[in-house]
Structure 1
């Protein structure tokens, strides 16, 4: 039976905290002086938020919260849902209420939606490049400070997967850890004793001989750093031989160590990397280099 995963959700407390900080940054010490100076308090307005290009929409609750926090009487009606694919000209939301609040919250709401929709849409382009393989595109800890949870949410809505959220939810042992710990076996043994059986352990390697050594410790995942397609294919073969698996059994066997490729991953290289047979491909491009999705908000004149 195939199970369709539910769409991810953002905790309401996370949304409010992020939006409140963004509004305080924008309103500064004196508030929206342009709007205060030009718009009388009694005036109301209606507006439409529209996508000006095709993409995947993310951030509607952040935008809704921005308008609510500025003025609770503003009405925000979402016309689509987070994760929906839209075409140019699609109306994403209709907003109406006191004009001052609408204008003051506009930029914060749009900023969240443009950035996160861009991350989801760019992630989707990477996912499409490797849809014919079993590999999964993963984001990394290279995120805009303060926005990691939001960006990882957007990655998932774009069809990607999350690597660890931070230093506290998974073990990733690198060369310096191994050097100080006294070797691969010592580092893995110490990690398992410290973290317990629910925490996955990954070890980074930068060569095939190091990979062979690491395999003896049976980590959950091996991170193959900055290896080209030829080396990655060899790594897959080494892994299969270590677990005594043939080509047919390799992908499905739950015992084996999973392989993750990282380094020099972009929209032009990811297809060749995925076709080597690795399980995961991690890249900072989908968060740090994603272009924004063009979204506008215009007053509707009746």
Structure 2
């Protein structure tokens, strides 16, 4: 039997952010706030003579509904670590839709690879490599920092070792995705980033209600809201449901007793709990 290591990382819904461009990937990142969610990415790593990656999207019952091969960020990670392995990632949430899954895939995969090859990496080293990979590939800026732990997160400095505050919440948020909004389209555009920077609040949320207020203000000023998201947000407003746009993704997230019912008029909303912890190793199979 081939030895395997299994790890998991929660995802992250960003409510608002501002890019910070540093001299290196380690000093580049973002400020802002978001919610770490209990759904994310599970990674299974096994030794292989040839590096390979399989990315699986799962249905409600755990069945594979879509699969692709290859991942430039994960292949970059294996090269940086000097290992060859087969990495299989799986998630129930749509990829590229504002759920921080690129960060979750990196954190869970690096954690599994570290355990598989006994590399001796601590949590800080795993997060640092994941963050650097995100920055190099323009797939994210602050999700890795957030997913080091759980809760409602505010990142006051860029990178994974900066000032991060967390508030534990026992809440459910409802999310609805209309499709992907590839991060490089925004993160690689100077004009888009300038507008986003001007829109970003310069404060941390006090609680969940304050987080939704600040996130919605940011979404409105950012110029990123497309028509389909606008319609869902308007319905939430009419029902008195706190809601905003997932950043970065063509989707809406909302809270409150009526949130799921309101969003159901536009698709199949997903209930998401607030994660209590960040990325972690699940098991190593001999």
TM-score range, shorter chain: under 0.3
Higher relative CO (Cα under 8 Å, sequence separation at least 6) belongs to 2
Higher helix fraction: Structure 1 or Structure 2? 1
TM norm structure 2: 0.27
Higher strand fraction: Structure 1 or Structure 2? 2
Tell me which structure has the larger Cα radius of gyration.
1
